[in-house]
Structure 1
Amino acid sequence: MKKLLLISIVLGVSTFTLYSQHKTIKGRVIDESMETCPCVSIVINDTVKVGETNVDGFLQVKIPDSVKIITFLYIGFEPKTIELVGQCDEVEVIMMSDVIYDFMTLKKINRLRKKRFNELPTIHKEAFLKGIFKTEKACYKQEFIPY
């Protein structure tokens, strides 16, 4: 009876560890002018801070395998939410500065923000050509979120 109980506990614990697998996400965060962004907070599930970038903008965090949405928060910049696709474990993120638009309609503000957002893939490619990023194209999805 004691052996059966011991075997049950061992199997239960090993099964629990199988379901709580983590993956390591590495990468770099820069701004639109290709300057590094130090101390960018990396958040999952909208509230859980899992890490931050170092002085050179590099990051390395462990997240659960089930997490696909990561948010990057930095003072003076718009929050950046990305969705990991497939086996994406190297993220290279470009933060958009938070611009104050005075005396403009919300529609015009979103149009200007969307224009800047659409330039991000070009900036990513330029960063790759300059050796700042390792990949030519981002391995994650990002969506424009209007105000």
Structure 2
Amino acid sequence: MGTSLRPAHTDLPEPRRPDPNHADCRGVASILARVGDKWSVFVIMMLSDGPKRFNELKRMINGISQRMLTLTLRGLERDGLVTRTIFPTIPPRVDYELTDLGRGLQEPVKALGEWAIAHQEQIASARTRFDQRNSTYSSDTNPPP
């Protein structure tokens, strides 16, 4: 017998249609803004090997201000990625730790951070070449071709 050329599996699931109000895009964008923020990436990387105290994180993350670390930790806690545990000691001890949801994010974030570290020289060289090529166009109104 020959092979039939008629489609046998035509019962395909309905394709997922985007929300006409773009609510799904806005939701994903707000999540990516949080986890893609440079300080969030550093905090998640630093917490990947266990809980840390605020000042310990501040020492580990070069260049972060106390206010920015506070805001970053608060945002990560709000999104359910970090927990904050207060111990009733004098002075009070506060530990920050990744939640299960945060631990699920640590591998992609760690991979992104490692990629950035491994390629920072290449990116810097590319930026320099781009800036040198385009510096003659900075005063022109026409962009380069």
* TM range, smaller chain: under 0.3
Which of these two proteins has the greater Rg computed from alpha carbons?
2
Relative to the length of structure 2, the TM-score reads 0.24
Name the one with the larger helix percent: 2
Q: TM-score, normalised by structure 1?
A: 0.23
